[in-house]
Structure 1
Amino acid sequence: MQRDVRPSSLPVTLDSIKRAFEAISFEHLRHHWTTSSEPFIVISNVSVDLFNAYFEDDEDAPFALRFVDLVDGGIIITDFPSKVHEAFIDRFKSAFLRATGDGDEVATRGSFTASRGRGIKKKQADATFGPLRQPPNRVEPPPVDEGPQRVLLDVGDWVTLAVEVGHYETWNGLEVAGNWWSHYVGMKYVLLMKVNTTATKLQYRLYEIAQVGNLPALSRRGSMTLDNIADAKSPDPPLRHAREALPANMNDYCCVNLLRVLEIARRIL
């Protein structure tokens, strides 16, 4: 891995992580991602606990948790909030809520900080969705089963769809992120998408999560560009599962026209 911000020989602290992030510019990142295939490492020798502590309240952090990862003790920057990235996510959220049939029954949890228990790095997705309240026939949210750290999810933390969008991020990085979410109890679907720099091409991979564990085989994948609107196909995950009732007016399938989302995102850039 290439080190763009050299790690200090001194023990890593919250302050040293903060200083390392503050030394990075978006121009530096753009240059790196367009000239190198190596990860951009901010600082090394970071423990999981220190990583989680730094991003406990990241509102003022130069880079939000959804744009970073902890790999072998090194904090890496995976992407950044470019206009393309943020415009696409914003339009996707609106399109998804419309496609459910009744967006008032869906909680948009945004990029909340998710935890899978002590000793495991925390995570943010680009967008997350879940039930607004206890669904019919469900007594309580599922438990987080992490050995001795067993925690019952509050309905406010119950996510059934996690969406990760890559602009500069690689497919490998997106799959690593998706794999984290496939271990998040209660998850039903993980949607990974990659948008090119001009917002004219989109690739997606949809995973249906039947049990907690590594990402399963793909349920659906596709690639589309703005010049093949007629032939484009989008993922349409079912909202209804066996023996699970849906609130009134909710569609059985949620069909989002991703190419339309891409088209509008490009138009507002």
Structure 2
Amino acid sequence: MKTNNELGTAVVTGASSGLGKVFAQRLAERGYNLKLVARREDKLNELADVLRAKYGVTVTNYVADLSNATDLEKVATDIQNDSNITFFINNAGTSTLAPSTKTSIAKQKEMVDVNITALMLLSNAVLPGFIERNQGTLINIGSVLGAYTLPMSSIYSGTKGFVVQYTRGLQEEVKGTNIKVQLVNPSITATEIWEVGGVPLSALDQAAIMTTEDCVDAAFAGLDAGELATFPSVHNQELIDAYENARIQLFTGSQTGKPAERYLQN
């Protein structure tokens, strides 16, 4: 294993629980120093103590609410000024699963602030350094709901749809460099986001729930294999390939400059 000085520093947002906590553990196992970002100071401190003792890595905690503009700006500024950062995971996210007309504007705005604005600004903060050094890894956590909407997920699906398209765009921007940008699209995962969103895990199909450990390990396996988009729970690779091909064909088919015949008056 490389030493942490060789690997540099990895940043994980939403690190106090769920996927973020496991991402932090796996990165520490690989030898990265860590910067962990989350709102809950007690959980961050507990995790940092364990990782320092077990893996001998340096862990710096940032207690921040990424839906708060001041907190977000502080985190973004630190990231932008830290040339030791080589790995960044935009994992923080929030959800309220209910029809949009029954979801408060405050809750809707929080989803946009955390799932879109924070992810975008933190990506913008870390990528210039990666580009300057021609090295670095950025992982953005999307969702299968970025390509599918339920009656109770219109806002959440909309925010994750942004993550999907934004990350694809970043991949095009860094094509041909040594920078890796990965999109991870989990399905139902055993994290607190379900309880926060108002749908307990006990109400879901238990056979469809993936553990956080399995999801993170699949994400890293996909990264190591060079995947641009990783769907941890999709077993049939042909489905992923067909979706990607259809997406490209639909865009290509739109470049005609003329209305489709079905829209022309006889």
Q: Which structure has greater strand proportion? A: 1
TM over 0.5, yes or no?
no
TM-score (norm 2): 0.31
Compute the TM-score of the two structures, normalised by the length of structure 1: 0.31
Q: Which has the higher helix share?
A: 2
